Amino acid sequence: MGNKKIKKDQLNTLFNELSKDCSVLVPTRSKGYIGFDLWDENNGDFIGWYKNTTIPLKANFFPKVEDMFRFNKGEGGYEIKEILPEEESQIIFGVRPCDARALKIIGTLFADTYKDPYFLKRRENAILIGLGCNEPCDTCFCASMGASPGESQDVDLLCTDMGDELLFETVSKKGEDLLSNMRGLSDSSDGDSSKAKELREAANNKIQRKIDTSNLKEKMRANFENREYWENVSMKCMSCGICTYVCPTCHCFDIHDENNKKDGLRVRNWDSCKFPLFTRMPMENPRHEKWRRVRQRYHHKFEYYDMNFGVIACTGCGRCIRECPVNVDVTQIITGIQSL
């Protein structure tokens, strides 16, 4: 089917129709940050102010804290009751291309040797409607990571902001099926497609930050033992973990049990390689020094993940730069490695 478009002032009407069959999530300001939350008629005005979420899209599929299963000790041993996500369809509107790409990147991990039922079930039941960036943040460097601020192959439908209207283009079969059932849209023209293309090219040209990823794995490996470089890089790091929490591809987690005599709950929660206790074992901590933990973060993203899955675990969203309280800049770190 052909592409469609809608007037921006009709978006709430569209969300109302979509919410009759499934949950609709949109970018929402709450408690000082921006994340994806249920549309409720009061948060449909985001198009005018929305750049990107503070909390990445991964949090909707890989929650910060998640109950895995309950256990109870009876006379015959332990009984375990798994707690899986509900079979609920979701439409997430306004996904930036960098976040959609990030979800695909970590989806590779969660579907690897061990298939994570929690992440995969949520992902299976979700439809992503992307929203291209016409005005990327000055911290963005997605173009260096093989992505584009205005287009994506990792969503189901892609929207382009064309002023008073939004253009919808199908990317996947799920997106095509959804678009065919969406009311209040009109057919687009060749002129609309041409305008969308011009807007994407203009957005791409607005990205000023760049990094060179050529031969990066080899360069990282060659400087693994360069203690002086990593100590200098880590000097102002506070080990607060903010960069890992706002990163759309960081996926490290801890698991602990909450016991209450004969019953309890197993819980999974986000962890960070920046924390001093992250790799602590009963007899030692192999990354006691801060510089080793900082080195681990960048080697994991730009070397190890690429070795294991064939893709760098960074999409250039720039969140870690924007949110770091001491202005650590990943582009400067990688550029420094390339210049050694």
What are the distances in angstroms from CA 8 to CA 163, 175, 339? Answer: 8, 19, 47
Give residue 139's pLDDT. Answer: 96
Give the max Cα distance, the chain: 72
For 246-296, the pLDDT digits (tens) are 999 999 999 999 988 788 999 999 999 999 888 776 666 667 889 999 999
Is the CB of residue 52 less than 8 Å from the CB of residue 319? yes
Per-domain residue ranges of the chain: 4-205, 216-339
pTM: 0.93
CA-closest candidate to residue 147, choices 111, 74, 216, 95 = 95
* Torsion sign, CA atoms 163, 164, 165, 166: positive
CA-closest candidate to residue 337, choices 196, 246, 183, 233 = 233
For 291-329, the pLDDT digits (tens) are 999 999 999 999 999 999 999 999 999 999 999 999 999
Q: 246 by DSSP, 3-state: which?
A: helix
